[in-house]
Amino acid sequence: MVTKIDEQTTTDPPDLGRSVRVVGRWEPVDASNTPHEKNKRGELGKPLFNWYFNRTPKDALSRISFPQSAADRRHTLQNAVTRAPKGSVNPEKVAVTDPKALTRHIKRVASFFGADVVGIAAVHPSMIYSGSRAPDDGTGAQEGGGGPKADSTEMAKKYPFAICLCTAWDYNLIQAHRHHIGDHAYHFSQAKLQLVYANVAAYIRELGYEAVQNRVQCMPAALAAGIGELGRNGMLITEKFGARVHLGDPILTNMPLIADTPLDIGVEDFCNVCRKCATTCPTNSIPMEGKVVHNGVEKYKINWETCYRLRAYVLDFWEVCLTCVTVCPYTKPNTWWRTMAVESLKRTPFALRPLTVRALKFLDDTFWGKVPRRRVRWLNYDSGILPVKKERTETNGAAAETHGEAPDPDSKVGYYYPLKENTRRFEIMRERASRTKGEVPKAGLARAVQAGAAVMPGADDAPSVRQGPAKNGH
Ligand code: SF4
Ligand code: SF4
């Protein structure tokens, strides 16, 4: 099913599928109020600010995976891609006689560049950020020196389509959630996606059409484009890869295309019953309850702040959590039995879906576990070995990490802490560190993260603003 652009109006609410419904006035989101932008202005506290600007992980792969983690930004592919000057639009525009054929072609080209899922959204003004995205320089200033905010309606008219692309994270690697192995699956897929987006944008400009990024909210655009449905975990859940996808900044374009329509793979029905992500989230950021209406939109609303705050305290062990992605029953290898399960749900009438969901959930819990904790060995990493922190060294100013021993070398279980049942481990580490320093221990991780306090050994000693470990090239 496709919708022609002339069939839509910008005054009607957009169709985002069954998982998200526009029920009231949906105001465009101010880009300067998104989590990273708030953090860049220091509004989320010193630990998170330092995490963003002053982190230098001990893990060398982490240091080349993401510009903020880099000892030298020039070592990261993303830095090169995002800071590269944008090319101009070819004045010799290619005439388009068949938008349907062109849409198929653009999708094939994006797949050739490396996109795993491709969709086209009909742009609605509410999807456009109000204001510009702030440059990543720590000032929080708007691009163009705080000029006038972009007019959402005008932008939606000028660029009626958004090309949404995803790259999938490796299934086996993200089984090591809350571990550097999962981090690498996440970050390097992001780097690949930025390259794919840069290639597609360049190709569109060469064909004589505009390609603009950083202006549209990726989630509503992806829902409208039929890339996936919104899960209880706040993640986009796709048909082939579940929640293990990276969704970058969609390309707004004036190229005449045909828009896709939202997808129904039963996420709405599954999340009503499942709650697997909510019960395993280490910070209780995912609701156990039903949907709420936020900014005129009915959806599951995660507490982004408690999820985000975790990052400042766990950097020595991992960078991105991913637990809610890994435990989701939709996140499975892209195999025939997975396709069969999703197809069976898709073909079940709505009234009978709760029964199908309960059967599928039972199978998932039985064969994949209620809390998947698979041991993953990859390169020189092994999630079955508990990392042990050592004393700080004088030279690097950061706590050194060494590998401990695997209690059972043949165990198939990995250490992905802090799971809720072993959150206490952080308290124990804290107590040990406090005993050494003669301090009073603090509260456990979940409570402390919610309160914005430091609980990791050494986290209190985080370098003050802008005085972190020396980075080259900054
Ligand atoms: S803390 Fe982890 S499990 Fe919870 S919402 Fe954030 S990423 Fe998901
Ligand atoms: S884990 Fe369950 S409740 Fe959470 S997003 Fe996936 S299907 Fe929905």
Q: Is residue 219's pLDDT more than 70?
A: yes
What is the pLDDT at residue 282?
Answer: 86
Task: Measure 156 CA to ligand 2 centroid, in angstroms.
Answer: 32
**pLDDT value of residue 16:** 97
What DSSP character marks residue 95? P
Element (H, E) at 198: helix 180-206
| pLDDT score of 76 | 83
Pocket of ligand 1 (CB under 6 A): 233, 281-283, 285-286, 302, 307, 310, 321, 323-324
- 219, two tokens: 């989630």
Residue 464's pLDDT band, with cuts at 50, 70 and 90, is very low
Residues 300, 233: Cα–Cα separation, whole Å: 8
The residues near 270 (Cβ < 8 Å, ≥ 6 apart) are: 329, 330, 345, 357, 360, 361
Average pLDDT of the residues in 164-173: 96
Strand order from edge to edge, sheet including 292-294: 21-22, 297-299, 292-294
**pLDDT tens track for 438-452:** 554 444 444 444 444
pLDDT surpasses 60 at 142: no
Mutational pocket test of ligand 1: of 286, 327, 449, the residue with most ligand atoms within 8 Å of the beta carbon: 286
User: Which of 226-230, 274-278, 425-429, 456-460 shows the lowest per-residue confidence on average (mean pLDDT)?
Assistant: 456-460
pLDDT of residue 443: 43
Q: What is the mean pLDDT of residues 217-221?
A: 96
pLDDT of 397 over the 60 cut? no
CA–centroid distance, residue 417 to ligand 1 (Å) = 12
Triad 410, 413, 419: Cα angle to 5°: 155
Q: pTM for this structure? A: 0.83
CA separation for the pair 129, 54 (Å, rounded): 28
The residues, ordered by sequence, that sit 6+ positions from 107 with a Cβ below 8 Å of its Cβ are 118, 120
Residue 250 near ligand 2, beta carbon < 6 Å: no
Q: Whose CA is nearest to atom 1 of ligand 1?
A: 307
Judged by its nearest atom, the ligand closest to the C-alpha of residue 331 is: 2
Give the model confidence (pLDDT) of 317-349 as tens digits.
888 888 999 999 999 998 999 999 999 999 999
Q: Are 240 and 116 in contact (CB under 8 A)?
A: yes
How do the domains of the chain map onto residue ranges?
A: 7-280, 423-460
Q: How far is the CA of 66 from the centre of ligand 2 (A)?
A: 28
pLDDT class for 436, splitting at 50, 70, 90?
A: low
